[in-house]
Amino acid sequence: MLEFAPICIYPVISSLVSLILLGVPFLFTSNGSTYPEKLSAHECGSDPFGDARSRFDIRFHPVSILPITPDLEVTSFSPWAVSLNKIDLFGSRSMMVFLLISTIGSIHEWKKGALDRE
């Protein structure tokens, strides 16, 4: 398992970078120049009418869902690609059938208009 040891560098560096970027601005703020009036929500002088958060529109949900199925297809490509010399023709054909079935799902998406701009 020692070949996975370089992965341990990444959490260290990423958390270091994130913590530095988060923490350094605190050295340069001045806590004395903020007061509640300045920190409250701005609605052109009057009090805020309601909550500023609106509901997440369902039109944006396919944006997160639609790349997931090709992502899992690519993930199942990786054991296939490594073992191609052992699964001679039968194995590559089984993968092609896998791709065909996934393509049918993609065609349905395409025709329903899920891939359009809006």
Residues that bind another protein (CB under 8 A): 1, 4, 51, 55-56, 58-62, 64-66, 68-69, 71-73, 75-76, 78-83, 86-87, 90-91, 94-95, 97-99, 101-102, 104-106, 108-109, 112-114, 116, 118
Separation of alpha carbons 79 and 59, rounded Å = 35
Shortest distance (Å) from residue 16 CB to another protein: 16
Q: How many of the other CB atoms lie within 10 Å of CB of 95?
A: 17
Q: Which two tokens stand for residue 29?
A: 């703020």
Separation of alpha carbons 86 and 66, rounded Å = 33
Considering the complex, state which of residue 34 and residue 83 has its C-beta at the smaller distance from another protein. 83
Shortest distance (Å) from residue 12 CB to another protein: 13
DSSP 58: G
Considering the complex, state which of residue 6 and residue 32 has its C-beta at the smaller distance from another protein. 6
Shortest distance (Å) from residue 33 CB to another protein: 27
Shortest distance (Å) from residue 104 CB to another protein: 6
Which residue in this structure is represented by tokens 């992502």?
71
Separation of alpha carbons 16 and 10, rounded Å = 10
